[in-house]
Amino acid sequence: MLEIENATKNFGSVIAVNDVSLKVERGDLIGVMGPNGAGKTTLLSLIDGTNPLSSGRISFFNQNITGHGAAFCARSGIGRTFQIPKPFEHMSVYENVLVSAIYAGGQSTGQAHDTALQVLDFTKLSDRGNQISGGLTLLQRKRLELARALSGRPKLLLLDEIAAGLTDLELAELLDVVRQISGNGMTIIWIEHVVHALTSLANRLIVIDFGSKIADGPTEEVINSDAVKQVYLGVD
């Protein structure tokens, strides 16, 4: 489905992503772990076209998407949420989702309207549809991030720290939504610092440190590996 070959991203003299290769199959729920500044978010930005690669290649369903930009990647079926929710704050919740359905999903106005209503219902935001998004709580903003990503009808969903800042109850509610998304067959790559949230759902873990991939495999195997204990958890 997705193949990353020797992806590297430099910001001046800083190597944010260093020669990372990765294959993702349909239906995977892949967790990405690593210390702050390890290059995790940059990796997602390479996949969704937000940042161009310095070198390497990315293909999606055997189509080379390297260098095509975020709009092309969204239309190709890659959806994305961000660490800090970025809604159009002066637009309603419904309008935020509608815009994504039209411009990311390429849907007609009628189709986009139906999609927006379905996604708002799925993410439990139907009662907030007419509310200006700038007035939402953090949990509601996280749900709106998901709703906007899903309204583009992606084949691959990239999640960036959707659990950050939530209470235990709010986290449980959001995890239930992610569980349902995965259960419906969506392929997910998920960055998360709330380790127990990630390990409760991911069937595969990738660990990145200083821009390089240092571990990749089944969740339980990776979380108990020496590399993770030493580099991520700081213990031998």
pLDDT tens-digit readout, 13-43 = 999 999 999 999 999 999 999 888 899 999 9
Contact criterion met (CB below 8 Å) for 206 and 231: no
What is the chain's mean pLDDT, rounded? Answer: 92
- What distances in angstroms separate CA 128 from CA 1, 10, 96, 113, 136, one per listed residue? 35, 41, 12, 15, 9
Instruction: Name the nearest CA neighbour of 156 among 38, 56, 49, 36.
Output: 49
- Residue 206 half-sphere exposure toward CB, CA atoms < 13 A: 23
Domain 1-77+155-236 superfamily per CATH: P-loop containing nucleotide triphosphate hydrolases (3.40.50.300)
Task: Give the SS3 label for residue 156.
Answer: strand
What percent of the chain has a predicted confidence (pLDDT) above 70? Answer: 97
- Does the pLDDT at position 235 exceed 70? no
- Does the pLDDT at position 44 exceed 90? yes
Instruction: Name the nearest CA neighbour of 212 among 51, 52, 28, 32.
Output: 32
Q: What are the sequence ranges of the domains in the chain?
A: 1-77+155-236, 88-153
Contact criterion met (CB below 8 Å) for 104 and 151: yes
Contact criterion met (CB below 8 Å) for 123 and 151: no
Report residue 234's pLDDT band, with 50, 70 and 90 as the boundaries. low
Residue 18 CA to residue 7 CA, distance in Å, equals 7
More confident of the two residues 232 and 93: 93
